[in-house]
Structure 1
Amino acid sequence: MGNKTETEPSSLHTENIADLPSDTHDENHFQPGWKPGTRPDGDTAMALFNDPDAPHEEIDPSEARKLLRKIDLMILPYLAVCYAFFYIDKTTLSYAAIFGIQEDLNLHGTQYSWLSSVFYFGFLAWAFPTNFLMQRLPIGKYLGANIFMWGVFLIIQAACHNFATLAVLRALGGAAEACADPAFMLITSMWYTRREQPVRIGLWYTANGLGIALGGLLGYGIGHIRGALPSWKYEFIVIGCLCSTWGIVMFFLLPDSPVTAPLLSKRERRIAVERLRENQTGVENKHIKLHQIREAFLDYKLYFFFALGLVCNIPNGGISNFGTLIIKGFGFSTLVTTLMQIPYGVLIALSILTCVYLNDRFENRRCLFIVIFLLPNIAGAFGLRFVPQDQKVGRLICYYLTGPYNAAFVLVLSMQIANTAGHTKKVVTNAVLFLGYCTGNIAGPFFYKTSQAPTYELGIWSMIVCHLLEVVLISTLGFLLRWENRRRDRIQSQTEGGLEGRDLDSTAFLDLTDRENLNFRYIY
């Protein structure tokens, strides 16, 4: 790709920087007027502070709060609407199933499950290339272009007449969508402090639940279209057109970086970047660094995040594609089944907002809240397995209880971006987490065997086992991160100046990884 690479780390690239001071784990702390260290391969944000015309006077906290509200309006609406379409797109096949696509295309055996999974094969194949392209290209433009193409591939699916052509187009759609979640996480880390990140991820991820509700309304409306085409074809055409239109909007209006945002003045850009000083993760760096790739694959956190992405999304892969079939199995008609998804989507949105609100109120309790918000899912899955089939209301309530896992996954995502520093390392860790995400979504539908419809015993057991594994993984990761913070405190307390003599400014925007930078503290 013609990328500039770095094969060996500089003299700063070592974890034995015992003379570097530490930060405290105060995610809200903010001090203006700092002077960053310099480094030729540092963060793009360094350009703002090397500019002699940039203002350097004291920054009023009220001015910083006003800017934060402006940033929210510049970023969150675009990500939220896009994420709603993201989930609506993933459920189009589920709605197409109840509108008759299996009969019209003569799908048999496991072909429907393969159509659910092949989307993620495209996602999987393009995961690393798309993440490295995001690092090299303007992220807003790249994201908008991919969303436009993802809508185009969805529209073309309405013209398919057999399994093979539909499978190819779904794989291409998966490749186009591969940049979505990683891009949203990089954008969030570029604009927000580590304390602000869970709430902002929660706000755009809440659109996941709203997308389910909106998808139900759209499905209900599309089901009433009496045109020349089958209802499932209108599902692909309408949703695809909406996605492509929004991709064009994002291409032109979503800013690429706080360093270059056209709607911010020079002073506002500098404040936007300076707010991120305590993150110790920088904004972005356009150079792909081989030593950071190597470090990422030697870091145990990468494998924890892969495993979490996997076990979080095996249940998602099943529910997103078989949820409507499970509800229909309770005895509801096709159109009422589409409406029954609306409360499910609302519950997901409310659970995410509640989770990120509580997390914001209690410092360093992310792992605890992940476990708490997994408990309803475990209870709901056990209910689906053991509540008698004639108890339709009870089984529907149990189905709704499987929604809050989305809130837990939001905090998993926030832990990944908060605990990874060095832009190339962030890109690689992002990609690997979503490799786990893809693998889970590929595997999930195959636990739902047609012969077990409508109860899907094996699929429900896969949910139970995965949620229990997630509890074990997140608890272990939290323990390891806490231990590492204490180890760094011990090392730096023995240096001149101790913990109180820390100098965060010297390492804030040098594009150091979390392992290289002893000033970095993990959030758990």
Structure 2
Amino acid sequence: MANKDELTRMEVCDTIHVEQSHPSIRDPEIQVDQTHAEIYREALQLFPDDDSIDKATERKLRRKLDWHILPLLGMCYFFYYVDKTTMSYAAIFGIKDDLKLHGTQYSWLSSVFYFGWLIWSIPSNLIMQRSPPSWYLSINIFLWGALLMCQTAAGNFTVLVVLRVLSGAFEAIADPAFMLFTSMFYTREEQPSRISAWYAWNGIGVAGGGLIGYGIGQIQGTLPAWRYEFLIIGALCASWGIVLAFLLPNSPTTIRNFTHQERLMLIARMRHNQTGVEHHKVEWYQIKEALLDYKTWLFMLMGFVSAVPNGGISNFSTLVIKGLGFDTLHTALLGIPQGVLVSIWIGLGALANHYMPPNSRTLVCAAFMLPTIAGALGFLLAPADAYVGRLICFYLTGSYQASFVICLSLITSNTGGHSKKMIVSGIIWFGSCIGSISSPFFYKTSQAPTYHLGIGSLLVSNVIELALFFVLRSAFKWENRQKEKKRATLQDTGDIKNSREALNITAFQNLTDKENPNFVYCY
């Protein structure tokens, strides 16, 4: 007969082995996704605790995983950001005159993109939970590229509005999908640097968009340059969507080019997260919990205030730079250092977080808000003829990207339960949509080329974001103190034990961060 430890491990993927008298921990309706239950059981039998995983072997496995995941997500993010800047480059290539845009119509073209995103973001997240995530992401990338190509043929404002709304709907899944893949394959300690690695391609996208824009500006064809901008970038995006379907894995259990034992180690490594890995059934009680959790709405506010600067800069950066006295082609080229600096900021943020003591993420986020606040102040207060100084200040405003990247890792690390993760991820980007919709209207045509109200909105948003990092830090510390009291009570009554079996039992259950007694928030 099997001994008690063996029986406990066999039960790990079937049920939560604690007393039913505590419904917050033990609910008979909560079941682990059985699609790959056997491989999860095998992983915990082979690697029953973290000490059983050889560190050198794990480092080698992590490097292999990085090469299989990060370049793919990075390239996605490159196209994702280049796609969003096409309207910005179309503006300096004559789209306003060709389509006879007037008043706030250009601002509306920048904003309506996010209406599609706003409407479809949460439904799209729930569809992705029910689908193979890499295939769902690939289909959406192909469709947003196809719709971008369709914008080439737009002959008036109305047609372009419809196409922009549809494009926004298909792009709604991008950021939540990237966060899902990061939380699915990497431990909580690894997530900040990995999110930084793929998000840094945002900066490469800014620089690449400038280089592509400069090249497109040289085309002497039968079409206006702005139409080539949509056609060429749309074709590249659609092609990448097809390639991605064959390369990006759907889960650690099915990842190609990894041995069976490597897959088992990939799974066992994730025990420490206590957030589960893959569950395809939508749990409505988790959605309710997400909507009633105050942290969800703090994340949404964070998404909003971070998007106000980002939405304005992505659509008006070329007009701001051109307003400093540069011609069209030099304006396109000056987008390159802006993108390079964004990547540098993100890299510095990842390094700072890596070398700081544990639970320093919110402090790192706060530190990287200071350069962008200084840059916005400098841009607003510098003399009108200080073109170089104001350009440098404008470049400094990109440092907030490093803060937002580390903040994303707070969301992936501090949300348990698959349905709850999907809805919280959707809600932060819901907030981001609202910020992106509103931000272009701060850049009034009458204030060109200084756009004082637009830069002012960036400054105010950054100050609020800075304060939010300290609010989140206090909230997570308070939540951990409550968790410690709850664990102590349950240990005193014998309902849970401080053992490796207890950690294994809750590691891959579809438990939310509130339900799981072994969950610890990081900050």
Whether contact under 8 Å (1:223, 1:231) holds in the other structure is yes
Report matched runs for 1:80-479 at 5 Å: 80-362=74-356, 363-479=358-474
Deviation at 1:91, TM superposition (A): 0.5
What count of residue pairs does the alignment treat as equivalent? Answer: 497
- Secondary structure of the 1:331 match is coil
CA distances 1:234-280 after superposition (whole Å, capped 9, x unpaired): 11111111101110010111110001213222211111011010100
What code does the residue aligned with 1:48 have?
I
CA distances 1:427-474 after superposition (whole Å, capped 9, x unpaired): 000000000111111110011111111111111111111111111222
CA distances 1:488-523 after superposition (whole Å, capped 9, x unpaired): 223324534899657311210111000001110001
Identity across matched positions, percent = 52
Deviation at 1:282, TM superposition (A): 1.1
- Secondary structure of the 2:440 match is helix
Structure-2 residue corresponding to 1:7: none
Deviation at 1:73, TM superposition (A): 1.1
TM-score (norm 1): 0.91
Say which of 475, 479, 486 aligns to 1:480. 475
- Secondary structure of the 2:193 match is helix
Whether contact under 8 Å (2:31, 2:510) holds in the other structure is no
Q: Name structure 2 gaps, 5 residues minimum.
A: 1-17
CA distances 1:48-98 after superposition (whole Å, capped 9, x unpaired): 134599856954322222111111111111110110111111110000000
- Secondary structure of the 1:403 match is helix
Say which of 56, 71, 76 aligns to 2:65. 71
TM-aligned CA distance change 1:379 to 1:286, over 3 Å: same
Q: Name structure 1 gaps, 5 residues minimum.
A: 1-9, 20-37
Deviation at 1:179, TM superposition (A): 0.7
Deviation at 1:312, TM superposition (A): 0.4
Deviation at 1:351, TM superposition (A): 0.7
Structure-1 residue corresponding to 2:38: 47
- Secondary structure of the 2:200 match is helix
Which whole-Å CA distance do the structure 2 matches of 1:395 and 1:52 have between them? Answer: 56
Which whole-Å CA distance do the structure 1 matches of 2:43 and 2:522 have between them? Answer: 35
TM-aligned CA distance change 1:53 to 1:368, over 3 Å: closer
Query: Is it true that 1:513 corresponds to 2:504 in the alignment?
Result: no
- Secondary structure of the 2:368 match is helix
TM-score (norm 2): 0.91
TM-aligned CA distance change 1:301 to 1:168, over 3 Å: same
TM-aligned CA distance change 1:465 to 1:13, over 3 Å: farther
What code does the residue aligned with 1:71 have?
L
What code does the residue aligned with 1:47 have?
E
- Secondary structure of the 1:445 match is helix
- Secondary structure of the 1:255 match is coil
Which whole-Å CA distance do the structure 2 matches of 1:49 and 1:314 have between them? Answer: 42
TM-aligned CA distance change 1:357 to 1:122, over 3 Å: same
Which whole-Å CA distance do the structure 2 matches of 1:12 and 1:141 have between them? Answer: 39
